[in-house]
Amino acid sequence: MNVIEGHLSSAGRRFGIVAARTNDLVVSRLVDGALDAFRRTGAADQDVVLVRAPGAWEIPLALRDLARSGKFDALVALGAVLRGGTPHFEYVAGETAKGVFQVSLELDLPVAFGVLTCDTLEQALERSGAKGGNKGFEAAMAAVEAADLRANLKKASSRRSAR
């Protein structure tokens, strides 16, 4: 059996992060976690681009623009949508998730989802570096592994077609 998988090595790869400005108390911690993950896996600082979008709603469009540039091996979406007393949360959270997924599929590029959708600020803080870990770190690690998996799949495919 031939197993193809990705590894946690980002050396020589380029990554983009799109992070919402809304709820920056939380999102800045997610960004710090993502940057830490990229550094720990060997990415050079100049190989990571950070784009700040106004809010979570605007993340998919910025991701699409980065993906269309053809300069990245994977992207990361970071944000925090907190439930309020109106249906606004459902619209923003749901459409952001759909938009991020759509960018990944349509532009054929791994996009890791690190947009928190929490009921309270306390929950968001827990998931951005407190006892719940840092979901920005986790999303960046997923992006690194997905980029490496993608490269390994392409290598395996080209070896099979060369036979």
DSSP state of 21: S
| 96 contacts: CB under 8 Å, gap ≥ 6 | 56, 57, 59, 60, 77, 79, 81, 115
In eight-state DSSP terms, residue 53 is: E
Residues in contact with 107: Cβ distance below 8 Å, sequence separation at least 6, in sequence order: 64, 67, 68
Catalytic residue among 68, 88, 98, 159: 88
Distance between CA 79 and CA 113 in Å, rounded?
A: 9
Q: Is 7 a catalytic residue?
A: no
Dihedral of the alpha carbons of 39, 45, 46, 49, in degrees to the nearest 10: 80
The strand order across the sheet containing 48-53 reads 48-53, 15-20, 74-82, 111-118
Active site residues: 88
